[in-house]
Amino acid sequence: MCGIVGAVAQRNVVPILLQGLQRLEYRGYDSAGLVVVNNNRLECIRSNGRVAELATRSAETSGHIGIAHTRWATHGVPSERNAHPHLSGERIAVVHNGIIENYEELRILLAAEGYVFKSDTDSEVIAHLIHSHYARGNSLLDATQTALAELVGAYAIGVVAADNPDQLICARKGSPLLLGVGVKEHFIASDMSALLQVTQKVVYLEEGDVAEVGLLDYRIFDASGKVVERPVHTSELNNESVELGEYRHYMQKEIHEQPQALANTLEAVCNSQSLIPGIFGAEAASTFAQVDSILILACGTSNHAGLVARFWLEEIAGIPCSVEIASEYRYRVSVPNPKTLVVTISQSGETADTLAALNHAKACGHLHTLAICNVPESAIIRQSKLRMLTRAGPEIGVASTKAFTTQLAALFLLTLVLAKQRGKLSAEQEQKHLHELRHLPSAAQAVLKLEPSIAQMAEHFVDKRHALFLGRGLHYPIALEGALKLKEISYIHAEAYPAGELKHGPLALVDKDMPVIAVAPNDTLLEKLKSNLQEVRARGGELYVVADAGTRFQSSEGVHLMQMPEHAGYLSPILHVIPLQLLAYYVALQKGTDVDKPRNLAKSVTVE
Ligand code: G6P
């Protein structure tokens, strides 16, 4: 939520800042701004709307040091006035990602000192606070450190001062920030994708770190103020992985990347003859031996992955599993069981509610934690005892696609490893599952061939205002995910129901204007689902059925088929979601919405 980029270089940094912001736009895109230091003056440009607008306005600007920001509004409407950077006088400029909880008290104190607030944001207090310490003769570093000690809340910040043209100060606590190391130039960014055009060398700042960043060197201070060395990593990302290439949108690209993303995530297992707990970390075998239940905590799409996994974990591994929305769990008084394995699922690894839920679980006495996450070095990964990285590659479209299917693949592996360790998996079953997993990427590839027919089907949805998604059992969470995709990017109100619940209320909504999308795999609940669908047809409801081999559904008046090539057994949810992703994509495309950046949303939700 909000993206930060900063640079100190011998060359003009404005193009670097703008390109970085473009890459970070997935984090928020309601307004953007940048500031450079020029001849002991701050040159600041802000604009409401997208980074492209800022780029047009910045054409004449240049400088060797600067910070920039793309915003997702929390305090104060999206507007030029509330866009970052925030300035204090003509001297200090700050960009901020996070939320300052005590900003109202600080605002009163700073107003009493004579500071005049120009925005409605919580962030502006940071600029004035640093200014007030800087004005007393402290160095920019000291002024920033002193100010940070007075803040309550979460932040990643970048700071520059008009009379300090060689240095930028940055800090993080609760929001991500990293340092990019170039040749006689240094950068800061919310994530590495913003810097790939200038460097692949990265230093991940830790919680509470403050850094002083110059042209030739940088110094990092830990939360206690002590100078520390942090390792320099070489990022595995490259420019190509974050570029659109032949696709029209990132979402479309990411839907198509699923076969490869699944192959990458499953690589270690598929190349081996048997399943080993080590894929979840060195201590996995001993931890798994101690656990008697699973608690999954996640938000959004990641929560849907957890809901699918519950079926697998209970049915295949015979282990009780509950799934909770992270933002609910963190505030609920629950009964902790120290033998529970707490599994957090997160694409970004920085979702504030998931992170807080993880910390809440630990504070309640949960010792065993496992993160399934797509971003190495993210907060959730670092704060968990065990981890498995999904290897989906950067996911940029706000609506999650390949992160979801790779999370499911990782959760299926978890199920198998636990089942094996608990004596619930015979050698023969293990080989059968491994065989099916090896086949999964090509099965996903085959499903993508439905794209042209789904694109046509999408036309039926363009003027609809509501849609109902139905699924049963393992596929009810897929119905939830299909509904989420459609509402996120096409703004059509969509709801998902377990098909058996239809007659307990939602059937009242069904008429010819309510498309009903059913996830219909060839499983034990198929006949029950067919009866539910008859109930829809009998009320004139138009049906769109994602059916797979052997279900004997046929297209007819009012029944439109998305025929899957095969039935994938337990892995079926991973395949059935793909047509629903494509459907949402094409409906949004035809409605002309901003597919990758839907209104009001952001990809990484680093605020509560
Ligand atoms: C946001 C995104 C969703 C995502 C959710 C959880 O709402 O738009 O796509 O599923 O956050 O994010 P996480 O990074 O924790 O998976």
Give the pLDDT mean for 353-364: 96
Task: Round to whole Å and give the CA distance between 418 and 368.
Answer: 14
Looking only at the bridges linking them, the beta strands covering 186-189 and 31-38 are unpaired
Asked if residue 601 has its Cβ within 6 Å of ligand 1, the reply is yes
Question: What is the reported pLDDT for 220?
Answer: 98
Ligand 1 mean position to 108 CA, how many Å?
35
Q: Is residue 376 predicted with pLDDT exceeding 90?
A: no
Helix %, strand %, coil % for the chain, to 5?
40, 25, 35
Give the pLDDT mean for 341-355: 95
Asked if residue 606 has its Cβ within 6 Å of ligand 1, the reply is no
Q: Is residue 172 predicted with pLDDT exceeding 90?
A: yes
Question: What is the reported pLDDT for 326?
Answer: 97
Question: What is the reported pLDDT for 534?
Answer: 83
Give the pLDDT mean for 349-371: 95
Who wins on pLDDT, 378 or 284?
A: 284
Ligand 1 mean position to 149 CA, how many Å?
30
Other beta carbons within 10 Å of 42: 22
Shortest CA distance to 73 belongs to which of 604, 603, 473, 602? 602
Q: Is residue 270 predicted with pLDDT exceeding 80?
A: no
Q: Is residue 76 predicted with pLDDT exceeding 80?
A: yes
Q: Is residue 381 predicted with pLDDT exceeding 90?
A: yes
Asked if residue 347 has its Cβ within 6 Å of ligand 1, the reply is yes
Question: What is the reported pLDDT for 524?
Answer: 82
Question: What is the reported pLDDT for 582?
Answer: 98
Asked if residue 398 has its Cβ within 6 Å of ligand 1, the reply is yes
Question: What is the reported pLDDT for 506?
Answer: 85
Q: Whose CA is nearest to atom 15 of ligand 1?
A: 346
Give the pLDDT mean for 529-553: 86
Q: Is residue 241 predicted with pLDDT exceeding 90?
A: no
Q: What is the 3-state secondary structure (H, E, C) of 336-376?
A: CCCCEEEEEEECCCCCHHHHHHHHHHHHCCCCEEEEEECCC
Q: Which CATH architecture has domain 250-425?
A: 3-Layer(aba) Sandwich (3.40)
Least confident interval from 23-32, 134-143, 368-377, 419-428: 23-32
Question: What is the reported pLDDT for 37?
Answer: 97
Question: What is the reported pLDDT for 549?
Answer: 81
Residue 29 binned pLDDT confidence (cut-offs 50, 70, 90): confident
Asked if residue 397 has its Cβ within 6 Å of ligand 1, the reply is no
Q: Is residue 389 predicted with pLDDT exceeding 90?
A: yes
Residue 68 binned pLDDT confidence (cut-offs 50, 70, 90): very high
Q: Is residue 446 predicted with pLDDT exceeding 80?
A: yes
Q: What are the domain boundaries of the chain?
A: 2-242, 250-425, 450-591
Question: What is the reported pLDDT for 507?
Answer: 86
Ligand 1 mean position to 301 CA, how many Å?
6
Asked if residue 390 has its Cβ within 6 Å of ligand 1, the reply is no
Question: What is the reported pLDDT for 411?
Answer: 98
Shortest CA distance to 575 belongs to which of 457, 405, 403, 347? 405
Residue 237 binned pLDDT confidence (cut-offs 50, 70, 90): confident
In whole numbers, what is the pLDDT of the chain averaged over residues?
A: 94
199-202 contact pairs (CB < 8 A, 24+): 200/234, 200/235, 200/237, 200/238, 201/232, 201/233, 201/234, 201/235, 202/178, 202/232, 202/233, 202/234, 202/235
Q: Whose CA is nearest to atom 7 of ligand 1?
A: 300
Q: Is residue 550 predicted with pLDDT exceeding 90?
A: no
Residue 540 binned pLDDT confidence (cut-offs 50, 70, 90): confident
Element (H, E) at 286: helix 284-290
CATH of domain 2-242: 3.60.20.10
Asked if residue 299 has its Cβ within 6 Å of ligand 1, the reply is yes
Catalytic residue among 173, 385, 487, 603: 603
Shortest CA distance to 566 belongs to which of 551, 548, 579? 548
Give the pLDDT mean for 103-112: 96
Residue 91 binned pLDDT confidence (cut-offs 50, 70, 90): very high
- Superfamily of domain covering 450-591: Glucose-6-phosphate isomerase like protein; domain 1 (3.40.50.10490)
Q: Is residue 603 predicted with pLDDT exceeding 90?
A: no
304 CA to centre of own chain: 14
Sign of the CA dihedral running 267, 273, 274, 276: negative
**Per-residue DSSP letters for 173-196?**
EBS--EEEE-SS-EEEESSGGGGT
Ligand 1 mean position to 327 CA, how many Å?
12
- Tell me if residue 550 falls in helix, strand or coil: coil
Asked if residue 346 has its Cβ within 6 Å of ligand 1, the reply is yes
Q: Is 44 a catalytic residue?
A: no
Ligand 1 mean position to 239 CA, how many Å?
23
> Percentage of residues in the chain with pLDDT exceeding 70?
100
Question: What is the reported pLDDT for 525?
Answer: 79
Ligand 1 mean position to 42 CA, how many Å?
36
373 and 387 Cβ atoms separated by less than 8 Å: yes
Sign of the CA dihedral running 126, 128, 132, 137: positive
267 CA to centre of own chain: 23
Q: Do domains 250-425 and 450-591 have the same CATH topology?
A: yes
Phi, psi dihedral angles at 95 (to 5 degrees): -115, 145
Task: Round to whole Å and give the CA distance between 569 and 522.
Answer: 8
Length of the chain: 608
Q: Is 603 a catalytic residue?
A: yes
Q: Whose CA is nearest to atom 2 of ligand 1?
A: 603
